[in-house]
């Protein structure tokens, strides 16, 4: 068993308390700052990784996304030191309590619209491109936070080239093999938001068979028809058939 003194420190400043998770974009730890008596999240990324995440977290709204407070580079890699969010991801909540009630899903949908719209309105605009239950947190006060910007890209114009995609949640255009044809825009985030709500309402994992083939009306008949229609419009395979902006989707939620 490691004692406090034997536990590794990041940059000689941040005491590693626990590894929280590992994915394609990096490994996340909970760390303790002895100088400030404060807990932070530390994400280890490759030194050669695109600096979009680092740059974005330096200028995002601190009430919707965790802020970056430090960057540490050492022999084993680069660490992004970020706000620690006390709460649970939607994926953890789903596993613990099962499908969400329609009213709660609508509330989360509106909060996700607010967060994604804030990214789309940045200069330059940013696409999140990885909306899924494990990347959305609810804190102890019920506020929503979008975490993990490892897939985010900045728009140079109307479209951008995605770097990665999560099976089941990424829009079809994110998986096109030919980079000359693989383009994303704000409608790709509409798809990710829709698939997140599909998972919350249906209690299904669209990354596993039958890959979201079950309609909400079949797997969750108590979901109001209008809510089913909103979700299904978001997750149309053809981007032209989705809501064309997050703002348009947000307006539809508000009159639901």
- What is the tens place of the pLDDT at every residue in 175-231? 998 888 899 999 999 999 999 999 999 998 898 877 677 888 888 889 999 999 999
Q: Average model confidence (pLDDT) for the chain?
A: 88
Pairwise CA distance, residues 150 & 43, whole Å? 10
Whether 33 has a pLDDT exceeding 70, the answer reads yes
The count of other CB atoms within 10 Å of the CB of residue 152 is 25
Whether 1 has a pLDDT exceeding 50, the answer reads no
Answer whether CATH 3.55.50.30 is correct for domain 87-254.
no
The count of other CB atoms within 10 Å of the CB of residue 139 is 12
User: Given 3-state DSSP classes, what are the helix, strand and coil percentages for the chain, each rounded to the nearest 5?
Assistant: 30, 25, 45
Helix (H, G, I), strand (E, B) or coil at 115: helix
Give me the residue spans of the domains in the chain. 9-83, 87-254
How confident is the model over 63-83, as a mean pLDDT? 89
Residue with token string 């419009």:
233
Extended beta strands in the chain, E state: 9-10, 14-23, 26-33, 38-45, 68-74, 77-83, 87-89, 126-127, 136-139, 144-146, 153-154
Which CATH number is associated with domain 9-83?
A: 3.30.200.20
Distance of alpha carbon 34 from its chain centroid, rounded?
A: 29
């Amino acid at each position: 068993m490691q004692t406090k003194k034997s536990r590794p420190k990041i940059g000689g400043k941040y005491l590693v308390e626990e590894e929280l998770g590992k994915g394609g974009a990096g490994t996340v730890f909970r760390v303790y700052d002895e100088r400030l008596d404060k807990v932070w999240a530390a994400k280890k990324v490759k030194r050669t990784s695109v600096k979009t995440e680092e740059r974005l977290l330096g200028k995002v709204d601190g009430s919707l996304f965790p802020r970056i407070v430090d960057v540490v580079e050492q022999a084993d890699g680069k660490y992004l030191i970020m706000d620690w969010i006390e709460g649970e991801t939607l994926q953890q909540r789903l596993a613990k309590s099962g499908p969400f009630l329609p009213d709660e899903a609508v509330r989360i949908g509106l909060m996700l619209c607010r967060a994604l719209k804030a990214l789309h309105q940045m200069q330059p605009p940013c696409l999140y491109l990885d909306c899924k239950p494990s990347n959305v947190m609810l804190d102890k006060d019920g506020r929503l936070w979008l975490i993990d910007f490892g897939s985010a890209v900045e728009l140079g114009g109307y479209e951008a080239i995605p770097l990665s995609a999560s099976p089941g949640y990424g829009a079809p255009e994110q998986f096109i093999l030919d980079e000359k044809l693989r383009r994303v825009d704000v409608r790709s985030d509409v798809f990710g938001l829709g698939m997140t709500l599909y998972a919350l309402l249906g209690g299904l994992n669209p990354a596993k068979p039958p890959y979201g083939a079950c309609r909400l009306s079949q797997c969750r008949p108590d979901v109001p028809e209008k809510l089913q229609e909103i979700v299904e419009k978001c997750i149309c395979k053809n981007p032209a058939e989705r809501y064309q902006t997050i703002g348009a989707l947000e307006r539809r939620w508000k009159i639901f």
